[in-house]
Structure formats: structure tokens, C-alpha cells
Structure 1
Amino acid sequence: MLFITIATSGMDPRQSAVVGNLLNPSYTFSLATTYSVPMSLWQRLINTFTHIAVPFLWRHWSIVPEIQKQITARFPDLPPLLEIERNSSLSLINSHFSISQTIPMLPSQVEVGAIHCNPAQPLPQDLETWISGAGPEGVIYFSLGSKVQGSSMPTKYRDAFIESFRRLPHRVIWKYDVELNGVSDNVLIKKWLPQQDLLGNNKVKVFITHGGLLSLQEAIYHATPLLSIPIVVDQPRNALFVKNKGLGETLLWEELTADALVSTLTKITKNPQ
């Protein structure tokens, strides 16, 4: 008996024809679309195309073939990945109906989204001291996830963040992969941070995020308000969910300025909801 575990941080595997679950594109969103319900005819046509194209490209052109090369080199006797998929007995899927679209699923498909979330643990002493000194204004936590490098951010956006943080009364903890000059004294730069332990701290008032799936799940689990600034793939759809469900606010990169950041962050921190 073969098993396959699907646990991805960037996509919802239910949106493609994975392990035999063929979904109706007239009402089931694909990975690459961000529409409201009900979709128009044109939107459904685009959605149908992406339902077909994205899984094909993923499994036969871009992702799976590259992974297959690595696996074959290390485990030459292992069956091909697509054969394992066809013969799988159980799929553990990193999504949950409470924070995504509710759709029909096969008995062999089990949603385990947020299974990785845990109660916050005590912070390292340096972080605890920094947060404790923030006073009643609290702390803003800023991270673009584990894949996006802060140093790749265009200068105009980085400067907008630096300027906005200088004008805020809060302390800021910023996950950034290199040393950053010009930041104000209320900003702490770290290359890596215990994200869930920070989100579970009641001093953290806002989480500025790219809107990745795991970050969204962790923020909801720890009830931390969000400022979502999506970049690619499923993140725009996640940002729409954040806005529509009252979990926080959303900004697009093309509208990102110091004034917009200050205004939006102030709105979030002053909103008792």
C-alpha cells in the first residue's frame, strides 16, 4: 500500500486534479485566479484554462520533472512520483475549509491545514527584553517568509518601510537577511525569528506578511491582525480573504508608500475588532 503526503506552503493541492479529485472549474478556483463568487462567464473560461494548464505544467514541465531527477539520483529503485500519486491511499492536504473554499473531497483526502501550529513558547531573552520595552504601543512584526529575501526588495519599497517605521510609535521586529543601514532606533533587524512564538505574544499588534499559506494559518491560530502585501501565486487570493473576513488590511506593492503604510498600520492598531 502506497501513501502520499501533500503538504505545501504555496499552493492548495485541491485546486488541481490531484489523486483523482476532478473539480468543477465553474465554481472551484484554481491556484492562479483571484475572483469573487459568482464568477462571470469570462472568469470561468480563464479559470477552466488554468485548471488544465497549471497542473499540466506543474507535473510534466516544471516542478515534478526536476524533483524526479533528484529523487531518481538518490533512490533509483523508487517508483516514479506520478505513479506513486496514482496509487496513493491517503492524501494529507495542507488546507482547511474554514480559511479556504469549501469543496467536495474524496474519502482518501484529509485536510490537515494548521496542524503545525502550536501555542507560543517563551522567547529568547533578547527578543523578550525588546518586546517588553515597547510599552503600551506594542510591537509590529514584519516578515516576507522563508523564500523571499529582503535584500531583493526594490530600494523604493525598502525606503518606504524604513521611513514609515521611523514615524510609528511602535517598536518593529523586521526579518531581513542582511544588515540594513538607516533604520531608526525602534527597529530590530534579525535574519531568522521564531514566528509562532512572536505571533502568540500579546504585545505583537500587527503582522506584516506576504500572505503565504503557512503565515496566514499561523496568524489566524494566534489571532494576530494582518497587513497583507501579496507577491505571487496564492498570496493575492489569501490577501483577499484577509480583507473580506476582517482579519486585517491589504496593500499592493504598486501603491506602497510611507504614507500608505503609516495610515494602514495605524488603522489596524486602532481598530478594536
Structure 2
Amino acid sequence: MQAKEENLWPPEVPDIFELLKQPAFAIINRPMSPSVVYVGGIHIKEPQPLPQELADWLDGSGEEGFIFFSLGTVIKAEHLKQEHISSILKVFGSLKQRILWKWNSEIKNLPSNVKISSWLPQQDILAHRKIRLFISHGGLFGSQEAMYFEVPVLGMPVFLDQHMNIDEIVSQGWGKSLAWDDLTEDTFGEAIQDILSNSRLVKPDLD
């Protein structure tokens, strides 16, 4: 954050990302004319072909399929605790599925079933026939896209509307939520397996 780098951020004030994790309340002032109609999901387009290398990697995931993990564009590697990253990697390395992870940093000792990239075509990936689970921070667009393409979600919200979006997914019965404060190797692995073992949520590969 530029203000912190330039010593303009008071040292006694917590980091902005810490503040966003625990707001007392959020004021949303969005007056609308009675003629306004909400059209959630209007941004969703017909799936486009994936880059060939990525398509081959996902197509080669076999009957077990793959898991897509993305924390959006705001949450970066430096915002996560190393212990959380370690737990995530241990669980990913133990899974039969391939893991496609949108991530902005190199990872040492990356498990062989994990592929990372700083940019990925999210909608086209969520539309892929072999996807089994979307692990998400709960951004609005990603939540709408997962619903549209019928992909179950493991939500790990960080701040503001992400909690509300994931709560809605859980209440509708097509996902689970895991708080970062509760994340361990055991809780993360159990949450993933709870969804993968639920035949009502996970679509079979129709190939």
C-alpha cells in the first residue's frame, strides 16, 4: 500500500486489510429509481476456448477432474499468513484432483498436481466439464458465474460483501464456508472432501 510505503500510514492504525476483515457495519448508499431493474449475471458470456496448454492440462485431469482456486484480484500473496499457505499446499498435494490456482507469486515445492498462474479466464474455466469445485473468496461476479455454471463453492471470504455472498450460497445449499481464522490442514481438507463426496453438488463428467 503506497501510504504505508511512504510512511503516511499511522503506525498505531491496523493495516487496511485487517480493518476490512472486521467492520462493525457497512453503510451502502445506493438510491435507485423505481424504473431500475437489477440484472445479476448479465456479464456472463458464452464460454470461449481455453488456451491450448491450459485446455490440455484440464482435459487431462481424468475422472477426478480439477479444482479451481481463486481469491480474485485484490487479495495478494503477501496478505496471507504463511501457515495458511502451507496448510493449503499440504491439502492440495494430498488430493486426487488437479488444482488450478490463480496466484500472483511463485511457490517453492509446488505439488505436482497444482498449476498456478497470475491470470486465468475465470468464466471459461468454470464452464469446463471437468471442474469439480470452485474455492473462492466470494466475489460477486465469481459467485454469479459459479451459480450459472452449476459449480459448487467452498467460500473463504475476506471482507465486506464477500461474507454476504458466501452466506447466500451456503443458505441455498450449493456450497460451504470456511473462515480464515479456522483454516488448518484438517479443516480445509474436510471442507473440500465434504463437497467432493456430495453427489448432489458435484457434476459427473459426461464424456
Percent sequence identity over matched residues? 36
1:192 to 110, 114, 119: 119
Tell me how far apart the structure 2 counterparts of residues 182 and 258 of structure 1 sit (CA, whole Å): 17
TM-score (norm 1): 0.62
1:218 aligns with 2:145: yes
> Residues 144-163 of structure 1: matches in 2 within 5 Å?
144-163=71-90
Contact 1:162 1:182 in 2 (8 A): no
TM-score (norm 2): 0.80
1:272 aligns with 2:199: yes
Which residue number in structure 2 is paired with residue 120 of structure 1?
A: 47
1:176 to 103, 106, 119: 103
Which residue number in structure 2 is paired with residue 97 of structure 1?
A: none
Helix, strand or coil at the partner of 2:190: helix
1:206 aligns with 2:133: yes
Helix, strand or coil at the partner of 1:173: strand
Tell me how far apart the structure 1 counterparts of residues 179 and 93 of structure 2 sit (CA, whole Å): 21
Structure 1 residues not aligned, in runs of 5+? 1-31, 34-45, 57-84, 92-105
Q: Deviations over 1:98-138 (max 9, x none)?
A: xxxxxxxx423220211101122111111111111111000
Helix, strand or coil at the partner of 1:216: helix
- Higher normalized contact order (CA 8 Å, seq sep 6+, divided by chain length): 2
Q: Which 4+ runs in 1 deviate beyond 6 A?
A: none
Shift of 1:234: 0.8
Structure 1 109/143 Cα, relative in aligned 2: closer, same or farther at 3 Å? same
Q: Deviations over 1:55-93 (max 9, x none)?
A: 57xxxxxxxxxxxxxxxxxxxxxxxxxxxx99xxxx6xx
Q: Mark the structure with the bigger radius of gyration.
A: 1
1:259 to 186, 200, 206: 186
Structure 2 residues not aligned, in runs of 5+? 1-20, 201-207
Helix, strand or coil at the partner of 2:37: strand
**Structure with more helix by fraction:** 1
AA partner of residue 271 (structure 1): N
AA partner of residue 256 (structure 1): L
RMSD value, Cα: 2.3
Helix, strand or coil at the partner of 2:106: coil
Say how many residue pairs are matched: 180
